[in-house]
Amino acid sequence: MLFLDAGSSSFSGSLSLEEKRLFQYIDEHQDEFVQNLAEWVAVESDSIQPQLRGEVTRMMKIAAARLQDLGAKTTLVDIGVQQLPDGQNISLPPVILAKLGEDPLKPTVCFYGHVDVMPAKIEDGWKTRPYILTEIDGNFYGRGTTDNKGPVLAWINALSTYINLNIDLPVNIKFLIEGMEESGSNGLEELIQKEKDCFFSNVDYIVISDNLWLTTKKPALTYGTRGNACFSVEVSGGEKDLHSGGVGGIINEPMSDLIALLDSLVNSSGCILIPGIYDDVIPLTEEEMKQYEQIEFDLQEYKANIGVKKILYDTKEEIFSHLWRLPSLSIHGIEGAFYEPGIKTVIPSRVTGKFSIRQVPHMDLSKVEHQVKEYLENVFSKRKSPNKLMVSMQMGAMPWVANIDDPQYEAAKKAIKRVFNQDPDMIRDGSTIPIARMFQDITEKSVLMFPLGAADDGEHSQKEKISRSNYINGTKVFASFLLEISKLHKELQKASNLKTVT
Amino acid sequence: MLFLDAGSSSFSGSLSLEEKRLFQYIDEHQDEFVQNLAEWVAVESDSIQPQLRGEVTRMMKIAAARLQDLGAKTTLVDIGVQQLPDGQNISLPPVILAKLGEDPLKPTVCFYGHVDVMPAKIEDGWKTRPYILTEIDGNFYGRGTTDNKGPVLAWINALSTYINLNIDLPVNIKFLIEGMEESGSNGLEELIQKEKDCFFSNVDYIVISDNLWLTTKKPALTYGTRGNACFSVEVSGGEKDLHSGGVGGIINEPMSDLIALLDSLVNSSGCILIPGIYDDVIPLTEEEMKQYEQIEFDLQEYKANIGVKKILYDTKEEIFSHLWRLPSLSIHGIEGAFYEPGIKTVIPSRVTGKFSIRQVPHMDLSKVEHQVKEYLENVFSKRKSPNKLMVSMQMGAMPWVANIDDPQYEAAKKAIKRVFNQDPDMIRDGSTIPIARMFQDITEKSVLMFPLGAADDGEHSQKEKISRSNYINGTKVFASFLLEISKLHKELQKASNLKTVT
C-alpha cells in the first residue's frame, strides 16, 4: 500500500541501471524515511520564541549526528549570541558545515537547508498536533514537514541511498544547515563571508530547497524571490496600562495612534501608500510576460489551495507580476494590546505594530527603511499626539534573481523530467529566502532553488504538510539530479578544455 | 509601626464611646485584616478566562464561609451556565446572598461587592507577583486589592469588629457578592429581578464600594457612572492563516480591513466618528459646572497617578465633563493576529478587534448598537473587500445617576468627616458599575457608591494596589457609617411618623 502511494511517478525514458536501483531502494525504504521525518518534526525547534532555543540547538545536534552517520565530516560552528529586545543575550544555535567526498574530478554541490521552524500551537487552530507527524490521505501534517525538515531529509535520504547501495557518489557534497532561518538567519552572512575562501572555495553549485511548487501537481524550479523588510512601529504613552472607564476620553490612547499609523500603510487594493516605494521597481518586460503565459496555472485550484474565495486579480500574468515583480505590504499583528478571547477594557500603555514589505529588484533596503520611517513619522506628527513613536526595521532581506542558463538548472530539469515525466514550471517565489541572494552575492557561485513541496503545503500555517508523494519522489529527483549535474559538469569541462586547447 | 501607618486619620469632633472602641479595635487588628486580604488575593479568581472558573467558584466559597463565621445566614445561589463563543457551556460561579440581623426597628443596608478579578500575569509587566500580596511603602500590591476584594473585606472587617466587641449592630445587614463582575455580571440581573420581592423587599439602602476616589488624599462619594458597550468586530478571509511571501499583494488581507475599520471609529482628539452617537447626550448644566468647580483637583497629581505626561484637556471642568458626561471610545486589542515578541510574517485568516464605548445618560444602548453596526458595515462596504464582516455587541451596561439627597449620602459624608476630618468630593465615575443602575432600576431602592480606594490604585493595571491607610481607615468609615445611617434613619422615621400623625 505504501508503494502505491508514492510510486505514482512515471519514469521518463529508459533509466540507467544505477537509477533503477536508486529508485527501487527509495521506494522500498519509504517507511524508514517517514520515521526519520516524524523524529525530526517531534523536535519543537522554533527559532522565534527565545525560550525554545534549547530545542533548536538539540535539533542541530540531531541533524549533525545524521550527517556523521553518512560519513560526512561534520562541524557544528558556534556563531555567537543574539541580543533580545530586552537586552538579554542568548546563544544562537550552531550552524552545521559538512562535507562528503573530496574528489577533485567531481563537481561539488553544496546543499543548504534549515531545521528550525515557525511557532506552532494546537490552540492556533491546528487539527493535528503540530509536533506529531500525522498522515491523513497521503499527506504528512506537522510543523516543519515542508518548511524545511522534509526537503533536508529528502537530500539526506538520496545520499544514504547511494551509500547503502554502494554506488559511488557522482559529486562531492557539502552541507550548510542552519537553525535561525525563520528568525532572519542571524549570524549566517558573517559565516558565509568568513568561509568564502575556505568551505566555499571549491563549491561549484549551491542548491536550496526551501520553497514550494506553483501548483499541486507540476514540479517547478525557482529563479527569483522577493526580499523582506520587517518593521515594528511602537507607540508608547503612560507608564502603565489604564482602565478605559477611568481615563477614556481624556488621553491620547497609544492604540488609536498605532491603528491610524497602520491604516496609513496600504489601501484596500493592496497598493502601498508610502511615497516613493515603487520608484525603483522596473516595469515588466515582454519576455517576462511571455514566460508567464507559458506557466500552467489553474486559478480555481490556486484559490482552493490557499483557501481564499476571491483574489484581487483575474489573470495569471497579473497574479505573477503582483507576487513576484511588485512589492507588497502585510500587517501581521500588535504586541502589547489585549489579544485573548473575551473582554478586557484596557487602554494598553505601549503597543507595537508588526508589518513587513516584500521588496523586488531593484529596490534598495536602506532606502525602503528611510521611506517607511519618514512617512510614519510624518503621519504621526499630524496627529499631534503626546505619545512616543519608535519605528524600526527589525529584519531586512534582499530580493534575488538567478541566471536560468546555469547548468544546474538544466540538470534539475532533466531529473524532474525523469521522475515526473514533465518539464518544471520556471517560476519566481513571492516569499523570501534571504540566503539565496546572500550565497550568490558572497560566494559568486550559481544558486538553484529546487522546491519539493506542493503549492498547498501551507508553510507557516496551521495545516503545514508535505505529501508522501512529494517527499519520496523528491528524494528520487535529488538522487537523479546528482547524476545529471555530474554528467553536465563533465561535458562542460570537456568543452572548456577543448576550447582552451583550440 | 503598623499603627503609625494607618492611624494617620484625625478623628473629627468627639467620638462616642462606641466609636472609640470600634476604631481602636480596628487599629489593633490591622495585621489580621491584612492577612485576610493576602489570603483572598492569593486566589486567582479571574472571571475572564474560562479555564480559571474553578478558582472563581473556590473564591465564592471562601467568602461565603467568612460570612457564615460572622453569623450571617448565607446562601450560595446557582445562577446557571455561561455559553462560551465556541458553543461550550460552563458553570457560572454562584452568587452569595447573606443576611445578618432581622430587627424590624433597624434599617437594612445591603452591601454589594465582587470577588472576581481581571486577568493578571507577571509577564504583563507586574513588578510584584500579582497573586501574592506585597507591601511596599504602605501600599499592598496585588490583583484584586482595590478591585474589589479589599473593599469587600473592609465591610466584613467593620462587621466583625462590632461582633467581636459585642456591640449591637445598629442596622440589619445583607450581602450580595458575585463572581462575574469583570465579565459583565452574567446572571445577576435575573437574580435581582427574582429576589426583588424577597431578599430585597425589606432593604432600605444599597451600598456599592467598587470604584476609586478622584484624588489620592481626599475621600469621595460617587453619584453617577458611565455605561459601557463592548463590541467585537471580526473580519474573516480564507480558511487558514497564510504566509505574507506566498500571497502578499494578491489578496484582501483581513488585517488591513480590520485596521481600517478600527481607524474609522475615533479621531486623534478622542472624538467618536460614528454618526449620531452624541445626539442624545444632554448639554452640561450650569449647576453641574458649579459642582465641578468645587471639587479639589490637582492636575499634576492626577497625571502622575495615571502615569501620563499630557492629557487632552487643561481645566478640571473639561476633564470631568469628558470623563463623566461625554461618551468615549477605546480600542483594546485584536484577537487572532500575531501578538508575541519577534517576527511572524503571517497573514491571519480571521481577526477580531475589540473596542468599547462608555455611554452617558441619556444614550440608548440598543440605539448605540445599531449606530455602530450600521456605520462599520458602511465603512466596510466601501472597501469592496470579499472578506466577511461580523460586528457584535458583546456586553452592554447602562450609565447610572443617583439622587444625592438620599439619607445614606448624608450618613456617608458624616462617617467620612469623622474618620478623615474632611468632606468628600461629590463625583461621578467614568467607568461602569452596571449593577448600580441595575439595582436602582429593579429594586427602586437608594444606591450609594462609597469608594475606599485612592485615585492611584491602578485597578485593572499591572500596579493594582490599595494603601494600608485606605484599607484600615476605610474599615473605620464603614463602621461609622452604620451608626450614622441608623441615626439618620431613625430621625427620618420620626419625622415621617410626626407628619403622618399631623
Residue B9 has pLDDT above 80, yes or no: no
pLDDT band, residue A13 (cuts 50/70/90)? low
Residue B502 has pLDDT above 60, yes or no: no
Tell which wins on pLDDT, B305 or A123.
A123
Give residue-wise pLDDT tens across range B403-435.
Answer: 888 999 999 999 999 999 999 998 998 988 888
Q: In the structure grid, which three cell numbers stand for residue B437, read together?
A: 443602575
Within 10 angstroms of residue B316's Cβ, the number of other Cβ atoms is: 17
Which residues are CB-neighbours of A417 under 8 A, at least 6 positions away?
Answer: A12, A423
B385: contact with A, CB 8 A cutoff? yes
Which pLDDT does position A455 carry in this prediction?
87
| B158-197 residues touching A, CB cutoff 8 A | 183-184
Which pLDDT does position A432 carry in this prediction?
86
Residue A499 has pLDDT above 70, yes or no: no
B259 contacts A270? CB cut-off 8 A: no
A244 contacts B431? CB cut-off 8 A: yes
Residues of chain B contacting A184 with CB distance shorter than 8 Å? 343
Which pLDDT does position B301 carry in this prediction?
84
B118 contacts A344? CB cut-off 8 A: yes
Instruction: Compute φ and ψ for B70, nearest 5 degrees.
Output: -75, -10
Which pLDDT does position B13 carry in this prediction?
59
Torsion sign across C-alpha atoms B487, B490, B492, B494? negative
- How much of chain B exceeds pLDDT 90, in percent? 83
Q: In the structure grid, which three cell numbers stand for residue A195, read together?
A: 568561509
pLDDT band, residue B121 (cuts 50/70/90)? very high
Q: In the structure grid, which three cell numbers stand for residue B102, read together?
A: 432581622
Instruction: Please answer whether residues A226 and B245 qualify as being in contact, where contact means their C-beta atoms are separated by less than 8 angstroms.
Output: yes
Provide the mean pLDDT of chain B: 93
Instruction: Please answer whether residues A411 and A204 qualify as being in contact, where contact means their C-beta atoms are separated by less than 8 angstroms.
Output: no
Instruction: Compute φ and ψ for A464, nearest 5 degrees.
Output: -60, 135
Give residue-wise pLDDT tens across range A387-440.
Answer: 999 999 999 989 999 988 899 999 999 999 999 999 999 899 898 888 898 999
Q: Measure in Å the smallest separation between the Cα of A496 and chain B Cα atoms.
A: 40
Which pLDDT does position B23 carry in this prediction?
97
B308: contact with A, CB 8 A cutoff? yes
* Block residue for cell numbers 568543452: A495
Instruction: Compute φ and ψ for A306, nearest 5 degrees.
Output: -85, -5
Mean pLDDT of A227-251: 94
Which pLDDT does position A5 carry in this prediction?
38
- How much of chain A exceeds pLDDT 70, in percent? 97
Q: What residues are paired with A350 via a beta bridge? A: A236
Which pLDDT does position A12 carry in this prediction?
55
How do beta strands A73-77 and A81-83 pair? unpaired
Give residue-wise pLDDT tens across range A468-488.
Answer: 999 999 999 999 999 999 999
A with B: how many residue pairs have Cβ under 8 Å apart? 327
Q: Measure in Å the smallest separation between the Cα of B164 and chain A Cα atoms.
A: 38
B314: contact with A, CB 8 A cutoff? no
Mean pLDDT of A240-249: 92
Which segments of A49-88 are extended strands (E)? 73-77, 81-83
The answer to which of A351-365, A374-388, B280-294 has the lowest mean pLDDT is: B280-294
Residue B2 has pLDDT above 60, yes or no: no
Instruction: Please answer whether residues A170 and A105 qualify as being in contact, where contact means their C-beta atoms are separated by less than 8 angstroms.
Output: no
| A74-133 residues touching B, CB cutoff 8 A | 84-85, 118-119, 124-125
Within 10 angstroms of residue A315's Cβ, the number of other Cβ atoms is: 12
Of B230, B251, B328, the CB nearest to A248: B328
B315: contact with A, CB 8 A cutoff? no
Give residue-wise pLDDT tens across range A170-184.
Answer: 999 999 999 999 998
B328 contacts A244? CB cut-off 8 A: yes
User: Per the confidence metrics, is the pTM higher than 0.90?
Assistant: no
Asked whether residue B44 is marked as a ligand-binding residue, the answer is no
Give residue-wise pLDDT tens across range A377-399.
Answer: 999 999 999 999 999 999 998 99
Of A237, A328, A338, the CB nearest to B332: A338
Tell which wins on pLDDT, B338 or A492.
B338
Give residue-wise pLDDT tens across range B131-155.
Answer: 999 999 999 999 999 999 999 999 9
The answer to which of A455-459, B279-283, B350-354 has the lowest mean pLDDT is: A455-459
Which segments of B341-414 are extended strands (E)? 346-347, 350-358, 388-397, 400-401
Mean pLDDT of B110-127: 95
- How much of chain B exceeds pLDDT 70, in percent? 97
Mean pLDDT of A151-172: 98
A259 contacts B309? CB cut-off 8 A: no
The answer to which of A371-385, B250-264, B285-299, B328-342 has the lowest mean pLDDT is: B285-299
Give residue-wise pLDDT tens across range B326-344.
Answer: 999 999 999 999 999 999 9
A268: contact with B, CB 8 A cutoff? yes
Which pLDDT does position B10 carry in this prediction?
53
Asked whether residue B182 is marked as a ligand-binding residue, the answer is yes
| A410-449 residues touching B, CB cutoff 8 A | 429-432
Residues of chain B contacting A125 with CB distance shorter than 8 Å? 240-241
A349: contact with B, CB 8 A cutoff? yes
pLDDT band, residue B8 (cuts 50/70/90)? very low
Mean pLDDT of A266-285: 96
Which pLDDT does position A500 carry in this prediction?
60
A310 contacts B245? CB cut-off 8 A: no
- Under DSSP, the state recorded for B62 is H
Which 3 state secondary structure label does DSSP give A433?
coil
Q: In the structure grid, which three cell numbers stand for residue A472, read together?
A: 519520496
Instruction: Please answer whether residues A251 and A242 qualify as being in contact, where contact means their C-beta atoms are separated by less than 8 angstroms.
Output: yes
- Residues of B carrying an active site annotation: 116, 181
Asked whether residue B491 is marked as a ligand-binding residue, the answer is no
Residue A1 has pLDDT above 60, yes or no: no
A47: contact with B, CB 8 A cutoff? no
- Residues of A carrying an active site annotation: 116, 181
Which pLDDT does position A501 carry in this prediction?
56
- How much of chain A exceeds pLDDT 90, in percent? 83
Provide the mean pLDDT of chain A: 93
pLDDT band, residue B7 (cuts 50/70/90)? very low
How do beta strands B95-100 and B388-397 pair? unpaired
A244: contact with B, CB 8 A cutoff? yes
Write the Ramachandran bin of A355: left for phi over 0, alpha for psi from -120 to 50, otherwise beta. beta
Interface test with B, best of A53, A394, A460 (most B CBs within 10 A): A460
Q: How far apart are CA A489 and CA A282, in angstroms?
A: 34
Q: How far apart are CA A468 and CA A462, in angstroms?
A: 18
Q: Measure in Å the smallest separation between the Cα of A190 and chain B Cα atoms.
A: 21
Instruction: Please answer whether residues B344 and A334 qualify as being in contact, where contact means their C-beta atoms are separated by less than 8 angstroms.
Output: no
Asked whether residue B210 is marked as a ligand-binding residue, the answer is yes
Residue of A nearest to B254 (CA): A331
Residues of chain B contacting A331 with CB distance shorter than 8 Å? 253, 255-256, 259, 337
